[in-house]
């Protein structure tokens, strides 16, 4: 199969492109290489993929000329590219253009791919709102510009399924951790600062927040499992993550255990729009995809620390 992965040099996109390639598919990775976070990390991920024979195209999805740049014989699209997370440095325009306009342009391109079997949108638990513990049937209440624009992007994709333009589904991911995690994310920052002996900035009260910290390999298991199940997943929203909850404090303690030393904490003001609890309800994923994440928090942290030490 010929597969396009957008956001391919990012955290989860790079792992997915790598897995798809290992399964024997022809993978084309697309990324705009923006400077939202370290270009050094993006280039590191790109080099890993290129060394395996995966083609990487530098392209911004906000440009409307995708059909002129990309091949039209794509069989699957996995759409990871987005303005990520909840960040004070990101404007509403950043979220709007990167999550909505970019997705609309990709949809327009997808409609030129006559052999397209499935468009897989990558959503997020932030769509649910402050608490993300629900099945996919619950009405979403996003509490951030990120959540609102990701919900809009999801519905733009699913609209094409409802209109029989092409088969599509959306996978809502929960608190993914592991090697290649972005520098501003919790575990990478904990590991980095812990190794340097510097204080970790902890949002006030967030030590008690509950999260479905899910190892990236377990997430990729679910993502790639939609291949061959087009008729089953068409039009569906599916949660992917672990059902096991941990507090942020437990996450900090796991890193301390692996590093073998305590990490100093600097409490900073609360972040608006942050989720207080995420627990992946994966009954639907189990039924449709036979999804069964197994990696423990401590195992995931060990893998991430090993990767960080090897590369930084």
Going by their DSSP bridges, the two strands 214-215 and 265-268 should be labelled as unpaired
Average pLDDT of every residue of the chain: 96
Contact 212, 244 (CB under 8 A): yes
Question: CA-to-CA distance for 145 and 180, rounded, in angstroms?
Answer: 25
What integer pLDDT is reported at residue 85 of this predicted model? 79
pLDDT tens digits, one per residue of 136-165: 999 999 999 999 999 999 999 999 999 999
CB atoms within 10 A of CB 203: 14
Structural domains of the chain, with CATH: 2-174+216-241+282-289 (3.40.50.720), 186-210+244-280+296-311 (3.90.25.10)
pLDDT tens digits, one per residue of 222-269: 999 999 999 999 999 999 999 999 999 999 999 999 999 999 999 999
CB atoms within 10 A of CB 211: 28
Share of the chain above pLDDT 90, in %: 92
Q: What is the mean pLDDT of residues 122-128?
A: 97
Query: pLDDT band for position 29 (50/70/90)?
Result: very high
Please report, to the nearest 10 degrees, the dihedral formed by the alpha carbons of residues 126, 176, 216, 301 taken in order: -170
Q: Which residues pair with 247 in a beta bridge?
A: 210
Query: pLDDT band for position 272 (50/70/90)?
Result: confident
pLDDT tens digits, one per residue of 186-233: 999 999 999 999 999 999 988 899 999 999 999 999 999 999 999 999
What integer pLDDT is reported at residue 120 of this predicted model? 99
The answer on pLDDT for 176 being more than 80 is yes
The distance of Cα 19 from the centroid of its chain, to the nearest Å, equals 15
The distance of Cα 272 from the centroid of its chain, to the nearest Å, equals 21
Residue in this structure with the two tokens 């970019």, named with its chain if needed: 102
What integer pLDDT is reported at residue 275 of this predicted model? 85
Question: CA-to-CA distance for 126 and 111, rounded, in angstroms?
Answer: 28
The string of DSSP codes covering the chain is: -EEEEETTTSHHHHHHHHHHHHTT-EEEEEE---SSS-HHHHHHHHHHHHHTT-EEEE--TTSS-HHHHS-S--SEEEE-----S--TT--HHHHIIIIIIHHHHHHHHHTT-TT--EEEEEEEGGGT-SEE---TTSPP---SHHHHHHHHHHHHHHHHHHTTSS-EEEEEE--EESTT--TTSHHHHHHHHHHHT--EEEETTGGG-EE--EEHHHHHHHHHTTTT-HHHHTT-EEEES-S--EEHHHHHHHHHHHHTS---EEEEPPPTT--SEE----HHHHHHH-------HHHHHHHHHHHHHHH-
Number of alpha carbons in the 13 Å side-chain half-sphere of residue 18: 19
Active site residues: 146
pLDDT tens digits, one per residue of 31-47: 999 988 889 999 999 99
What integer pLDDT is reported at residue 172 of this predicted model? 98
Contact 16, 3 (CB under 8 A): no
Query: pLDDT band for position 19 (50/70/90)?
Result: very high
CB atoms within 10 A of CB 120: 25
Query: pLDDT band for position 271 (50/70/90)?
Result: confident
281 phi and psi angles, rounded to 5 deg: -90, 105
What integer pLDDT is reported at residue 38 of this predicted model? 86
pLDDT tens digits, one per residue of 74-110: 999 999 999 987 777 889 999 999 999 999 999 999 9
The answer on pLDDT for 273 being more than 80 is no
Question: CA-to-CA distance for 73 and 71, rounded, in angstroms?
Answer: 6
């Amino acid at each position: 199969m010929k597969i396009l992965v957008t956001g391919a040099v990012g955290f989860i996109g790079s792992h997915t492109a790598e897995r798809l390639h290992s399964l024997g598919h022809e993978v084309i990775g697309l990324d705009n290489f923006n400077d939202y976070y370290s270009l050094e990390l993006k280039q590191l991920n790109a080099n890993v993929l290129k060394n395996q024979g995966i083609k990487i195209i530098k392209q911004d999805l906000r440009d409307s000329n995708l059909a002129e740049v990309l091949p039209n014989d794509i069989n699957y699209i996995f759409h990871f590219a987005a303005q990520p997370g909840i960040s004070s440095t990101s404007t509403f325009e950043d979220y709007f253009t990167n999550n909505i306009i970019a997705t609309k342009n990709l949809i327009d391109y997808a409609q030129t791919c006559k052999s397209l079997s499935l468009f897989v949108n990558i959503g997020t638990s932030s769509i649910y709102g402050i608490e993300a513990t629900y099945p996919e049937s619950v009405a979403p209440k996003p509490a951030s510009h990120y959540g609102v624009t990701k919900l809009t992007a999801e519905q733009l994709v699913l609209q094409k399924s409802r209109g029989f333009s092409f088969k599509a589904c959306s996978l809502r991911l929960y608190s993914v951790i592991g090697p290649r995690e972005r520098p501003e994310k919790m575990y990478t920052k904990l590991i980095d600062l812990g190794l340097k002996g510097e204080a970790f900035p902890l949002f006030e009260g967030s030590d008690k927040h509950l999260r479905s910290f899910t190892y990236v390999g377990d997430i990729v298991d679910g993502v790639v499992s939609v291949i061959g199940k087009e008729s089953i997943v068409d039009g569906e929203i599916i949660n992917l993550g672990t059902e096991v909850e941990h507090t942020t404090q437990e996450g900090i303690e796991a890193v301390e255990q692996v590093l073998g030393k305590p990490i100093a904490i600097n409490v900073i003001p609360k972040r608006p729009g942050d989720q207080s609890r995420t627990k992946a309800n994966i009954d639907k994923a189990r039924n449709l995809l036979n999804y069964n994440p197994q990696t423990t928090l401590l195992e995931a942290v060990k893998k991430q620390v090993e990767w960080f030490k090897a590369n930084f």
